[in-house]
């Protein structure tokens, strides 16, 4: 084969791959697409430990939930641009570069930036998977320090090269991530197995120094919050600002995240409420009160003292429990006891406040969450969490600093976000 023939052959092959990628992008824009979300305690997760029993996995989720609630509260009180990093339950994978290199990051609706640890790492936590090597990608580029992309990423000129955009994220717990703002080809894999190329010039952080309490089973964070730097907003016309997820009731089952046309929540049973996006990128709703069975227990009159508007509760897919102000939680607990009429037992771990033996055959009432213009009815799977073979506990907790509508309450709902209309929709769905 002559050199000219060789070059022609490779040009044709490259053109075929480019055409295939273009067609996948066109199809994804028209029809939307879906991906799998991986629970940290599932066998598909890099962090899966086969030696743990199901109840130890639940305890891991509760520890992450408590830590995450504290960090969300700290971030909400702070005036800094970036003060929170994720320790949520859900992971997602995507590929970076040419050739594609797979990374697994924490999928976080409570975070905005996208970053992954990169070679050569000066000071990094020890992750289980290999690190992304920018030098091995023919499409990798650094972001210019004077560009809009750098400003979006809250970047600054690098100390080594003033023309290159560096970023420094400092977190409330003294953790930090430092690196270079970068672009490369990013690809997701849909649930049908098709690669979905993301729009060019998505900015992510190539992190070379990461110190602190990060999840060693993930290579970084995939921010799904509401700021311009998040993956959702950078995907632009590919999603039209729409995404949704369906959280499965069992961590061994894959949860789903949908984008674009596939993310639209419609049909019988749908309720929608207005949302606000905080400066930190949190999605905040207006909670008016709760009902236990037929008893309306309270209007949400207590101020959380963390948001400047009347919106008062963060909706978050990465926090296991639902956190309420002390007064509202106490009313919820008291009315649950009235309805169930069984003798509560203590949680051996001391984490949850209201627990019952399964052998007592309890029948918990429906809890209705009254958001503004949207009543979301929670079944037992949303209100109680099984901690052991013979123990279930109320999956709510009091918190004086922040209110969070957590993931247990969202199980078996299709939860859709429309960033343009600024609404969140709920539809009862079998997410198995």
pLDDT tens string 266-282: 999 999 999 999 887 88
With bands split at pLDDT 50, 70 and 90, how would you rate the model's confidence at 128?
confident
Range among 59-63, 122-126, 192-196, 298-302 rated most confident: 192-196
What pLDDT sits at residue 155?
86
Q: Is there a single domain that holds both residue 270 and residue 236?
A: no
Assigned token pair, 238: 């590919």
What pLDDT sits at residue 382?
97
pLDDT tens string 386-422: 888 889 999 999 988 889 999 999 999 999 999 999 9
**b/e string for 369-380 if b means 16 or more Cβ within 10 A?**
bbbeebebebee
How far, CA to CA in Å, does 328 sit from each of 85, 289, 296, 301, 399? 28, 8, 11, 9, 10
Whether pLDDT at 11 is above 50: no
Assigned token pair, 263: 């993310």
With bands split at pLDDT 50, 70 and 90, how would you rate the model's confidence at 251?
confident
Does 67 reside within a domain? Answer: no
Tell me the CATH number at 420: 2.40.70.10
- Domain end, chosen from 196, 224, 240, is at 240
Task: Count other Cβ atoms within 10 Å, centred on residue 168.
Answer: 14
217 noted as active-site residue: no
Does 222 reside within a domain? Answer: yes
Residues 6+ apart with CB under 8 A from 340: 356, 362, 363, 364, 365
**pTM confidence score:** 0.85
- Domain end, chosen from 223, 240, 257, is at 240
Catalytic residue (choose from 87, 112, 184, 316) = 316
Does 146 reside within a domain? Answer: yes
Section 24-45 average pLDDT: 71
Catalytic residue (choose from 87, 89, 108, 399) = 108
Instruction: Kindly report whether the peptide bond that precedes residue 99 is cis, defined as omega within 30 degrees of 0.
Output: yes
Section 163-186 average pLDDT: 84
Q: Is there a single domain that holds both residue 301 and residue 343?
A: yes
Q: Is there a single domain that holds both residue 300 and residue 216?
A: no
Whether pLDDT at 169 is above 90: no
How far, CA to CA in Å, does 173 sit from each of 72, 99, 126? 12, 36, 19
Q: How far apart are CA 415 and CA 256, in angstroms?
A: 11
Does 135 reside within a domain? Answer: yes
Percent of the chain predicted with pLDDT > 70 = 77
316 noted as active-site residue: yes
Q: How far apart are CA 194 and CA 48, in angstroms?
A: 26
Instruction: Detail the DSSP E strand segments found in 147-202.
Output: 156-157, 165-170, 176-183, 186-189, 195-197
What pLDDT sits at residue 219?
86
Mean of per-residue pLDDT scores for the chain? 83
**Which residue segment(s) compose the domain that 375 sits in?**
265-428
Q: Is there a single domain that holds both residue 40 and residue 177?
A: yes
Does 247 reside within a domain? Answer: no
Cβ atoms of 202 and 186 closer than 8 Å? yes
Query: How many domains in the chain?
Result: 2
With bands split at pLDDT 50, 70 and 90, how would you rate the model's confidence at 218?
confident
Q: How far apart are CA 170 and CA 173, in angstroms?
A: 9
Does 128 reside within a domain? Answer: yes
Q: Is there a single domain that holds both residue 226 and residue 289?
A: no
pLDDT tens string 307-355: 555 788 999 888 889 999 999 999 999 999 999 999 999 988 888 999 9
Q: Is there a single domain that holds both residue 195 and residue 331?
A: no
Does 171 reside within a domain? Answer: yes
Whether pLDDT at 78 is above 70: no
Cα 406–410–267 angle (5° rounding)?
Answer: 145
Percent of the chain predicted with pLDDT > 90 = 51
Q: Is there a single domain that holds both residue 99 and residue 193?
A: yes
Whether pLDDT at 30 is above 90: no
Q: Is there a single domain that holds both residue 114 and residue 236?
A: yes
Assigned token pair, 112: 């905005």
pLDDT tens string 96-108: 999 999 999 888 8
Q: Is there a single domain that holds both residue 178 and residue 327?
A: no
What pLDDT sits at residue 289?
92
Q: Is there a single domain that holds both residue 135 and residue 234?
A: yes
What is the full DSSP assignment across 280-323? Answer: T--EEE-EEEEEETTEEEEE--S--SS-SSS--EEE-TT-SSEE
Q: How far apart are CA 397 and CA 334, in angstroms?
A: 13
What pLDDT sits at residue 63?
66
Q: Is there a single domain that holds both residue 271 and residue 212?
A: no
- Domain end, chosen from 240, 274, 304, is at 240
Whether pLDDT at 51 is above 50: yes
Q: How far apart are CA 216 and CA 126, in angstroms?
A: 6
Q: How far apart are CA 334 and CA 346, in angstroms?
A: 15
Closest CA to 396 of 369, 370, 359, 415: 369
Q: Is there a single domain that holds both residue 348 and residue 228?
A: no
Does 53 reside within a domain? Answer: yes
With bands split at pLDDT 50, 70 and 90, how would you rate the model's confidence at 9?
very low
Cβ atoms of 169 and 113 closer than 8 Å? yes
Relative to beta strand 165-170, strand 220-223 is unpaired
Residues 6+ apart with CB under 8 A from 148: none
């Amino acid at each position: 084969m002559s050199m000219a023939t060789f070059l022609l052959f490779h040009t044709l092959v490259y053109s075929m791959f480019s055409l295939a990628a273009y067609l996948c992008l066109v199809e994804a824009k028209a029809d939307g697409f879906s991906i799998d979300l991986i629970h940290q305690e599932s066998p598909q997760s890099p962090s899966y430990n086969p030696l743990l029993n199901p109840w130890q996995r639940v305890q891991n989720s509760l520890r992450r939930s408590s830590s995450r609630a504290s960090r969300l509260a700290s971030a909400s009180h702070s005036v800094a641009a970036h003060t929170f990093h994720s320790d949520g339950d859900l992971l997602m994978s995507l590929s970076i570069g040419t050739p594609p290199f797979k990374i697994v990051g924490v999928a976080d609706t409570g975070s905005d930036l996208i970053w992954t640890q990169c070679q050569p790492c000066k000071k990094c936590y020890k992750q289980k998977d290999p690190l992304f090597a920018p030098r091995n990608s023919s499409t990798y580029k650094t972001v210019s320090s004077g560009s809009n992309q750098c400003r979006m990423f809250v970047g600054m000129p690098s100390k080594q090269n003033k023309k290159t955009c560096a970023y420094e994220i400092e977190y409330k717990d003294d953790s930090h991530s430092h690196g270079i703002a970068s672009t490369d080809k990013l690809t997701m894999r849909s649930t049908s197995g098709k690669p979905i190329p993301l729009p060019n010039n998505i900015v992510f952080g190539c992190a070379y120094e990461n110190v602190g309490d990060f999840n060693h089973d993930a290579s970084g964070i995939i921010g799904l919050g509401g700021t311009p730097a998040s993956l959702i907003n950078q995907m632009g016309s590919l999603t039209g600002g729409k995404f949704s997820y369906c959280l499965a009731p069992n961590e061994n089952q894959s949860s789903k995240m949908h984008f674009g046309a596939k993310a639209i929540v419609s049909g019988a049973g749908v309720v929608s409420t207005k949302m606000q996006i905080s400066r930190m990128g949190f999605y905040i709703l207006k909670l008016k009160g709760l009902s236990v069975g037929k008893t309306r227990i309270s209007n949400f009159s207590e101020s959380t003292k963390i948001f400047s508007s009347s919106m008062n509760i963060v909706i978050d897919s990465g926090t296991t429990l639902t956190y309420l102000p002390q007064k509202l939680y106490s009313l919820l607990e008291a009315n649950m006891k009235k309805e169930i009429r069984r003798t509560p037992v203590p949680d051996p771990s001391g984490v949850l406040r209201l627990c019952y033996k399964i052998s007592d055959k309890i029948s918990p009432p429906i809890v209705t969450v009254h958001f503004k213009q949207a009543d979301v009815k929670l079944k037992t799977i949303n209100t109680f969490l099984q901690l052991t073979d013979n123990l279930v506990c109320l999956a709510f907790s009091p918190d004086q600093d922040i209110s969070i509508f957590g993931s247990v309450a969202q199980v078996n709902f299709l939860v859709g976000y429309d960033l343009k209309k600024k609404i969140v929709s709920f539809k009862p769905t079998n997410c198995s």
